[in-house]
Amino acid sequence: MTPVAALAKMVVLTAAAPHHGWDRATLTALLARSLAGECAPTDRMDGPLWPGQALTCGRARLENDPDAGPRLTQGDVVLWRAPGPGVLRMRGDRLALIGHDGAVLWSGPPAPGAVAILSDDPVALRMIDPPTAPPPSPRLRADPGAR
């Protein structure tokens, strides 16, 4: 991304933050996230994270090791390790690790419609962009003077 594009992206995201309720950490994660057409996203899950695949963002890495399972690292330091190998994917409204036998080995909290995005400051796999409830539709009130 060019410096001008990065500045424009920062301005747009900062302006949208109050409307969406984004905090500084969310803004940082979104700024690191690829825009459509910039490049292939390496920081988010567009589908299942199969064994052998990885997400990267700066020094942060979420690698799904075929033998040991997913692990979150910062450089050479392992910050989190899953209880076993499998596929990391959304299952219903939760991010879950599905073992080779189909059993759920781990699952996160509910996050309907969210996308898992890796951030590097602080290192975390965040569930971003959960849809908000649509505003209630306006109800037409009858004019008390009208018949």
Tens of pLDDT along 3-34? Answer: 787 888 889 889 989 988 888 888 887 887 76
pLDDT of 135 above 70 = no
Tell me whether residue 57 is in a domain: yes
Tell me whether residue 144 is in a domain: no
Tell me whether residue 99 is in a domain: yes
Helices 3-20, 24-32: inter-axial angle, 10-degree rounding: 140
Mean confidence (pLDDT) of the chain:
82
Q: How confident is the model at residue 139 (pLDDT cuts 50, 70, 90)?
A: very low
For 19, left (φ over 0), alpha (ψ -120 to 50), or beta? Answer: alpha
Tens of pLDDT, residues 82-101:
999 999 999 888 899 999 99
Q: Which helix (H) or strand (E) holds 26?
A: helix 24-32
Instruction: List Cβ neighbours of 65 (8 Å cut-off, separation of 6 or more).
Output: 51, 71, 85
pLDDT of 47 above 50 = yes
Q: Which of 48, 50, 20, 19 is nearest to 116 (CA)?
A: 48
CATH, residue 64? 2.90.10.10
Tell me whether residue 9 is in a domain: no
Tell me whether residue 79 is in a domain: yes
Tell me whether residue 80 is in a domain: yes
Residue 65: what are its φ and ψ, rounded to 5°? -70, 130
Tell me whether residue 83 is in a domain: yes
Count of structural domains within the chain = 1
Q: How confident is the model at residue 1 (pLDDT cuts 50, 70, 90)?
A: low
Residue 93 is part of which domain span?
A: 40-128
Tell me whether residue 90 is in a domain: yes
For residue 13 the two structure tokens come to 């995201």
